[in-house]
Structures are given as C-alpha cells and as structure tokens.
C-alpha cells in the first residue's frame, strides 16, 4: 500500500461548452492536460457556473446558466471533487443551484461546500485514498445576497467579510482624489462556525483540507483578511488550505509548516466576451490568460510536496500545458517571488516548479 497519494488541483472553472461531442474530445490540448491530471489519485476543481435548465438570473454582474451535459462532462474529463462554495454557483437561484449539485453527482463529481440545509452545506467530503483518510471542507468569503445557506434556504457555506475604509485624513488633504485603502476582516461568528466544523472533522481523518473561495478576482495582491483567516484555519487543525477565486496565480504561504495556496488562477475561462457589456469586458480584460495546475503529494502527516505546471488559455477558453520556455518560466518565477515573503521556497526546473515540506 502506498504511503502517499496525489491530489491534482485546478483553479476556477467557468465552462459553457461541452468537452465532448460525437464521441470525441473538442480540444486535444485540454484533453492532454486532463490526461496529466488524471494520473493523480484525486482530481479537484472550483465550480463557477450553474448546470441547469431552470432558474432566474440574479443581479450578479456575470452569470452563466449552462446545460447539464456540460457539468456531466467534467466527471468524464476526470474531476472527482469540486467546491461549489463560490460566488457564482447561486447566480440563477436556488433551483438551479440544487440542480447543479445533482448534475455534478450524475457525472461522478462530488460537490462540497453547498447544500439544501446548513448541515449539508457544511458537511465535509471524506474518503480514503491509498489507505489515507482525507477530509475536505469548502467555504466562500465572497457572499452575494441570498447565496449563504440558511435553515430555510439552500446555498453555500459562507464566511462573510466585513470591510471598512481606512481613512488617512492628512493624506487625503495633501493628495485629494487618491485611492482609499480598504481594510477587511472575517466575521468572527462565521470563523467560529468554520473552526467548529474543523474540530468535528479532525478526529475522523488523517489529513484535513479546507477550500476557501476568497481574495480579489484581479491581480496578485491579497486582501487584508486573507492571511489572518489562514492563520486561524491552520491553528484550528487544518493541514492544507486550497484557495480559489483569484484569476491570477499568486502566493503560496507556509504557516506552521502547512501550505496555503491562495489561488491557482483561472483554469477554464469560457466567459462570453461576444455578448458582454462594457462592465463585463472591463472585468474580462483583467483575467490572466495564464494559470497553474498543482500536483499535491499528501502523506498521512500532511502535504509532502507541491508541483506546479503552468498553463495558457487560448480563445476557446480551454487551457493547455505550457512547455519549457520564457512564458512558463515567467509564470513560475512570479509564483516564486510572491511566495518568498510567506516562508515558501519554490524551486523551478524547466516547465515545473516544486515546493517541498519536510516531515
């Protein structure tokens, strides 16, 4: 029996078109990428659309209602586990949200982080992989109105964020019109719910992972609440934080020997640019066409190593692996440089970067 297993992880998946048709794959490049990910023992992604034929559009700036067959294709491609605790999986209301859970399961993908009741939404995924008992919780810090699960409303497991303007009155007089700094912190009530969920899960598993949808969609800076929240989550008993939402790959911190991936970037990027309005096009312009996928080697005591492979997303929105060269090196160097202040050493070898965590 192996003493480790490999979790392959991708970032946000905004998919609108089928991956398969007439018995064949639609993208040879993405099929090759997924063949790489399928070598792992467990494949994870972040779901950013709803798979349904019903529902109503909320006021979300960007929202996609996608045919159920597309969701089932994700399982055929190799995904086994997906967070639905994101800021888009309720974009067409509760019925479409619940349909999404059904269609993912029909395709062989286990959703985590959402459900009909709080008990379902906060329930972990627990499975045994190569003899190692692994559990995952999923939450979102991006919580549009009505998206958080309540006793009488289906939705996502949410950790809400409080924001306030940190005004520098003297600076505003000296340089009026300058940008105002925004501070943020996680709501204590919600953090305690997450800590309690971790405490309940901890005795049941060897390895505990928390997926968090958080941060900015644009660029690589972190919101001020992210690192304090990460420290609380690790202190509560988490072995690994697997973050998503940021549309650019960014820092990987090491907190008490535990890795914190803040974002792997935007993975499948099939945003509808052709029919987008000016506001949507402004957002799309900031989406990084490069991302990374991660192979995370996990032992009974936690993460042993993380290997990163850079990807590029062409016009069809389906990423392809980058070969060694300037583009691959540039992406990995950015992750390396952003990660250094957080205590993480990233070693680059060709089109791959590696992070080792000693036992």
Q: What is the CATH number of the domain that holds 277?
A: 3.60.21.10
pLDDT at 124: 98
Distance CA 313, CA 266 (A): 9
Close Cβ partners of 134 (under 8 Å, ≥ 6 residues apart): 5, 42, 126, 127, 128, 205, 206, 207, 208, 209, 298
Tell me which of 1-10, 127-136, 173-182 is least confident.
173-182
Q: Are strands 4-14 and 65-66 parallel, antiparallel or unpaired?
A: unpaired
350 sits in the region (left: phi over 0; alpha: psi -120 to 50; else beta) called left
Q: What is the number of domains present in the chain? A: 1
Q: Is 359 exposed, middle or buried (0-12, 13-18, 19+ CB in 10 A)?
A: exposed
Q: For the chain, give the percent of residues with pLDDT over 90.
A: 85
Distance CA 217, CA 14 (A): 13
Q: What dihedral do alpha carbons 333, 338, 342, 347 form, nearest 10°?
A: 0
Backbone angles phi, psi at 288, to 5 degrees: -70, 130
pLDDT at 329: 95
Radius of gyration of the chain (CA): 20
Inter-residue contact 114 to 89 (CB < 8 Å): yes
Cross-strand bridge partners of residue 349: 352
pLDDT at 169: 85
* pLDDT over threshold 60, residue 239: yes
> Is the pLDDT higher at 171 or at 252?
252
Inter-residue contact 254 to 186 (CB < 8 Å): no
If pLDDT is split at 50, 70 and 90, which confidence band does 24 have?
low
pTM of the model: 0.95
| Listed residue (61, 137, 48) closest to 97, CA to CA | 48
Range of the domain at 316: 4-356
> What mean pLDDT is predicted for residues 328-340?
96
Q: Are strands 4-14 and 290-299 parallel, antiparallel or unpaired?
A: antiparallel
pLDDT at 354: 97
DSSP string, 295-308: EEEEETTEEEEEEE
Distance CA 205, CA 146 (A): 32
> What mean pLDDT is predicted for residues 256-279?
94
pLDDT at 23: 62
* pLDDT over threshold 60, residue 1: no
Residues 225-238: tens digit of each pLDDT: 999 999 999 999 99
How many C-beta atoms lie closer than 10 Å to residue 10's C-beta?
A: 26
Close Cβ partners of 275 (under 8 Å, ≥ 6 residues apart): none
> Is the pLDDT higher at 122 or at 176?
122
Q: What angle in degrees, to the nearest 10, is found between the helix axes of 188-201 and 226-235?
A: 30
pLDDT at 175: 85
pLDDT at 181: 85
Residues 147-204: tens digit of each pLDDT: 999 999 999 999 999 999 888 888 888 888 888 888 999 999 999 999 999 999 999 9
> Is the pLDDT higher at 247 or at 148?
148
Distance CA 216, CA 327 (A): 23
């Amino acid at each position: 029996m192996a003493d480790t297993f490999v979790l392959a992880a991708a970032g946000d998946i905004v998919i609108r078109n089928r991956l398969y048709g007439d018995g064949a794959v639609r993208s040879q490049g993405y099929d090759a990428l997924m063949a790489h990910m399928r070598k792992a023992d467990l494949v994870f992604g972040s779901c950013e659309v709803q798979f349904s034929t019903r529902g109503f559009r909320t006021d979300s700036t960007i929202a996609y209602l996608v045919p159920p067959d597309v969701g089932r294709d994700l399982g055929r491609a190799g995904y086994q586990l997906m967070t639905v605790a994101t800021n888009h999986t309720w974009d067409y209301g509760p019925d479409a949200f619940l349909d999404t859970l059904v269609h993912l399961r029909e395709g062989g993908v286990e959703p985590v982080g959402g459900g009909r009741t709080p008990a379902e939404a906060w329930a972990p995924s627990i499975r045994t992989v190569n003899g190692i008992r692994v559990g995952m919780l999923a939450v979102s810090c991006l919580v549009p109105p009505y998206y958080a699960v309540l006793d009488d409303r289906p939705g996502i497991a949410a950790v809400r964020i409080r924001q306030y303007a940190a005004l520098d009155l003297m600076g505003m007089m000296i340089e009026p019109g300058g940008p105002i700094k925004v501070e943020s912190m996680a709501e204590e009530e919600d953090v305690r719910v997450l800590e309690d969920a971790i405490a309940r899960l901890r005795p049941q598993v060897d390895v505990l992972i928390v997926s968090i949808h958080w941060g900015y969609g644009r660029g690589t800076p972190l919101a001020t609440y992210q690192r304090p929240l990460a420290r609380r989550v690790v202190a509560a008993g988490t072995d690994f934080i697997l973050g998503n939402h940021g549309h650019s790959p960014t820092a990987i911190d090491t907190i008490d020997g535990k890795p914190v991936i803040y974002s792997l970037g935007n993975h499948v990027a099939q945003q509808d640019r052709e029919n987008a309005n000016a506001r949507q096009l402004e957002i799309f312009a900031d989406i990084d066409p490069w991302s990374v996928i991660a192979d995370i080697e996990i032992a009974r005591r936690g993460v042993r190593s993380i290997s990163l492979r850079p990807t590029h997303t062409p016009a069809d929105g389906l990423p392809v692996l980058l070969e060694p060269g300037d583009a691959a090196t540039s992406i990995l160097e950015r992750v390396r440089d952003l990660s250094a202040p957080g205590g993480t050493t990233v070693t680059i070898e060709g089109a791959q970067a590696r992070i080792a965590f000693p036992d």
